[in-house]
Structure 1
Amino acid sequence: MPPRPVQLRAAVPGIVVARVESVATIHGDRPVMRVRVGTTERAATLTIRDGETIAQAARTALQQRLPVVIDIASTGADIAEGLAALHGWGQAARALTSCSGIVPTIITVDGPAVSGPALLLGLADLVIMTASSYAFVTGPHMVRQFTGEPEQQRRAGDRRSVDGDDGGNDPRAA
């Protein structure tokens, strides 16, 4: 039996899990840095520790020249942590930016990618959104509060609303 992969920062509390995993390709197995943010059963808020784990995963992937694959289902920074949680997201964004042009970055969204996670999508080489996913920096409730105009989640950023907006996507892949 092959050795089991060790989770990065395994002793650090949080909802982000990062480790090197092997994925099957047409050329055989390939190691990748796999980062799971939240779950499909329950979208999660992220703490500073979670942002630091994502950043460490990106730095390790860069050092080992491994593709980064991130699965996101998150409603953004934990409001109880205030600016510290946002700092964690900044660290994650900075580390992912360092990967640009050196190792591929892929983000899959299955559920929400709200606020900071939505911004991370713009740093990836490839973004895959499922039918139940949505992404926006400011959601329908905030738009309604500021403008007085009703806004629906579909218009605010579900997969169908972004299918043709960036010029580089293919809706058939979703």
Structure 2
Amino acid sequence: MSTPTSPGEGAPTDVLGRALRLVSFAMLAGVVVIATVAVFTVGDEAGTSTDAFGQLLVSVVFVAAAIFVPRRMVRPWPATAEPDEVKAAGQLRGAAFLSLVFAELPTLIGLVNSFARGVWLPVAIGALFSVAGLLLTAPTADRMREWLARLESAGARTGL
């Protein structure tokens, strides 16, 4: 399934995964910084139960999307097609980025809600869900191999 590209470099999915993990750690750090700054600058009021419920609902929807939507993006192409490393890497990269973006959205929506309402609870809830989502959907080596296996099990010759 995966062949090393050069001695000591590892499988292409490992190389791609390392680059994507750096992006996911940067996004995770961004979520923490955004939430920390917002909580201390928005105001002293936490907010109402409506603020909390609305943010919980939005957060659950986007974290679920971060988990399930990228899996549907990784689609094989006809088995008769030539192996295409670029196309396969592009699908894996696209799925990973989409997953990371969906996982980060609860914080950004919470930030907008917090500033609009003058309360800190929406951004705090969004950040908690975003951190969990980013940790659950980070492009780990196992996840990248799973996505690659999904491509190849359906007959796609990825060349990776």
When the two structures are superposed, what TM-score results if normalisation uses the length of structure 2?
0.26
Structure having greater relative contact order (Cα 8 Å, sep ≥ 6): 2
The higher radius of gyration belongs to 2
Larger helix proportion of the pair: 2
Structure with the larger strand share: 1
Q: What is the TM-score when the length of structure 1 is the normalising length?
A: 0.24
